[in-house]
Structure 1
């Protein structure tokens, strides 16, 4: 499904402050998938949310591991999970506000 997602937490895992939340936040668009994959390092099956950008030049959002849909309504949803930095392997709590869109 084609969707646009906005991060609800900053890079350090802190919620976006209210005075900044009302301004236009960066939005990423693409095909949203929520799948289960076995991760060898974690030794278990994990739900992973990914936003695959349609435009190959655009950088998408990092995947959310242990993804959970917290809320769905009126063509919108909130997905929470853990982002993993590819370089440092740092794990950070993150949530996305997702708006389903027509292509």
Structure 2
């Protein structure tokens, strides 16, 4: 049931027509992201229980790694959609400052 990020990015509304900086994800993409985040939320609760139950450290770290990977997947989906919609439209409008914004965002993601 897990789709690739490419399948989950759907261009919905125009980012450039709405300058209050809101995202414009289709209902399908929103639903997928919420499902993923709900799963991650459950993983976090599970990690908390593992720590409370004095679970072997390596097992906890393995679960933390899986959760980080899941968060990275959410970030990739969001970044891809952002680049294919908002960034593209702003560049087409002549706003090249958006490139600096994207580079900062990517640097933040790569720190993790």
Higher strand share: 1
Larger Rg, first or second structure (1 or 2): 2
Higher-RCO chain (CA-CA 8 Å, sequence separation at least 6): 2
- TM surpasses 0.5: no
| Higher helix residue share | 2
